[in-house]
Amino acid sequence: MAHPSDRRTEQRHRGQGPLTLSFADPSPQQVVGRLVDYSNSGFRAVHAYAALHSGQEVEFRHAVAVGRARVMWNRIADDRVETGFLVLK
């Protein structure tokens, strides 16, 4: 059962496996991480790149999909970064 404060409307599926993010702003980067979960419109990943920022667009590749996504939020704890992405159509 979902937590009462969880506002997600789509079902989430458990993710696993590697994830690659790439982008050119502010400079060309490739970030490797791990897929945590996904839905039809987004996904959540963990990685070690703390400089991602809300609104930033990235190219992504993971076991379920390939495409372009926008960073919606980051949660940083020690050397672990958790990021939520919205997949762009």
Please report whether residue 44 resides in a domain.
Answer: yes
CATH number at residue 49: 2.40.10.220
Please report whether residue 70 resides in a domain.
Answer: yes
Please report whether residue 4 resides in a domain.
Answer: no
Please report whether residue 76 resides in a domain.
Answer: yes
Output the CA torsion sign for 40, 44, 49, 51. positive
Please report whether residue 35 resides in a domain.
Answer: yes
**Counted domains in the chain:** 1
| Domain region containing 75 | 19-88
Give tens-digit pLDDT for 13-59: 899 899 999 999 878 999 999 999 999 999 999 999 999 999 999 99
What is the band of 7 on the pLDDT scale with cuts at 50, 70, 90? low
From start to end of 1-89, where are the E strands? 13-14, 18-23, 29-38, 42-47, 57-62, 66-77, 80-88
Tell me which of 4 and 86 has the higher pLDDT. Answer: 86
pLDDT at position 9 is 73
Give pTM, 2 decimals. Answer: 0.87
What is the band of 1 on the pLDDT scale with cuts at 50, 70, 90? very low
